[in-house]
Amino acid sequence: MTHPAPASAAPRGRLDATGYLICFLGIVRRELLRFFNQKERFFSALVRPLVWLFIFAAGFRNTLGLSITPPYETYVLYEVYVVPGLATMIQLFNGMQSSLSMVYDREVGSMRVLLTSPYPRWSLLLAKLAAGVAVSIIQAYVFLAIAAFWETDIPPWGYLAALPAFIAAGLMLGAIGLFLSSLVRQLENFASVMNFVIFPMFFASSALYPLWRVRESSDALYWICQANPFTHAVELVRFALYGAFNPVSCAVVLGTGIVFFALAVIAYDPGRGLLARRGGPAGEAA
């Protein structure tokens, strides 16, 4: 005669909503603790945009005139123009930094342990992505707070209005970084990959100069900048900071983010991903 199992013998660790939430918050908390314990990472992220704002922008102020273009309703100084691009640059570098940590975690083994979790890969990667976005938003708003002393003319409500834009831009740039992390097996090779991605994306965009000026010198470069998803991330943030909405940039940012996140999930899949085909940790964890 069989007896029903007691309630205490119910399976533990079920993949229910509570379990997903605990896993998600655990990964986010780990990444935030890592960020706050690495203070040099925080200050180094601010050095690049602050140097450009306080030094380069001062030199270009009288040489680079900016006409009245949306979302600006009047002529603006160069430092006013570059602030949204520099804030988004922080997210670009942070997205690549997060992907660098993925490569490092694969080498030391913590990522391998994470990938053996019973939770689906997409949920683990989404948690890593969300943690990176949270870190980048903290850095971007600290930069904006410092830039406010430089008469950047951002309305107070613009900081709140820009939060969804920063989230969307951070998710897109982080998803690109996640996909790139699946292409690199060794940590020392990632620096060259970053250089081939970060600098072309940053300089071939509207972060430092309006695209109508680019078109005056090179029509081909203008269209390259238009095709650059980082350009649309910058414009999405720029418009949001002044209470405006750029539907084209929003569509490009969201679409690019979804595509690269899907590619990252496929690449980290143990059965068909890039790492599995090359014998990487994803394949070993399967």
Residue 10 scores a pLDDT above 50: no
From first CA to last CA, the distance across the chain in angstroms is: 40
Q: Measure CA 34 to chain center.
A: 17
Name the amino acid, one letter, at 11. Answer: P
pLDDT in tens, 184-194: 766 666 667 77
Residue 282 scores a pLDDT above 60: no
Residue 283 pLDDT level (bands cut at 50, 70, 90): very low
Highest average pLDDT, of 6-10, 110-114, 230-234, 275-279, comes from: 230-234
Q: How many helices (H) and strands (E) does the chain have?
A: 15, 0
| The predicted structure's pLDDT at residue 185 | 67
Check if the beta carbon of residue 88 is closer than 8 Å to that of residue 169.
yes
**What average pLDDT score do residues 167-180 get?**
92
| The predicted structure's pLDDT at residue 215 | 87
DSSP for residue 5: P
Residue 104 scores a pLDDT above 70: no
Owner of token pair 């904006």: 144
Dist CA 101 CA 120 (whole Å):
20
Dist CA 268 CA 80 (whole Å):
41
Residue 76 pLDDT level (bands cut at 50, 70, 90): confident
Residue 278 scores a pLDDT above 60: no
**What average pLDDT score do residues 199-207 get?**
90
Check if the beta carbon of residue 239 is closer than 8 Å to that of residue 245.
yes
Residue 166 scores a pLDDT above 80: yes
Residue 281 pLDDT level (bands cut at 50, 70, 90): very low
Residue 8 pLDDT level (bands cut at 50, 70, 90): very low
Residue 162 scores a pLDDT above 90: yes
Higher-pLDDT residue of 271 and 37 is: 37
Tell me what percent of the residues of the chain surpass a pLDDT of 70: 76
| The predicted structure's pLDDT at residue 234 | 96
Q: Is 16 left (phi over 0), alpha (psi -120 to 50) or beta?
A: beta
Residue 248 scores a pLDDT above 80: yes
| The predicted structure's pLDDT at residue 112 | 62
Residue 103 scores a pLDDT above 80: no
Length of the chain equals 286
| The predicted structure's pLDDT at residue 7 | 44
Ordered DSSP codes for 246-285: -HHHHHHHHHHHHHHHHHHHHHT-TTTSHHHHTT-HHHHH
| The predicted structure's pLDDT at residue 269 | 73
| The predicted structure's pLDDT at residue 109 | 58
Structure tokens at 271: 């059965």
**What average pLDDT score do residues 228-245 get?**
94
Q: Which residues contact 229 (CB under 8 A, 6 or more apart)?
A: 172, 176, 201, 252, 253, 256
| The predicted structure's pLDDT at residue 99 | 73
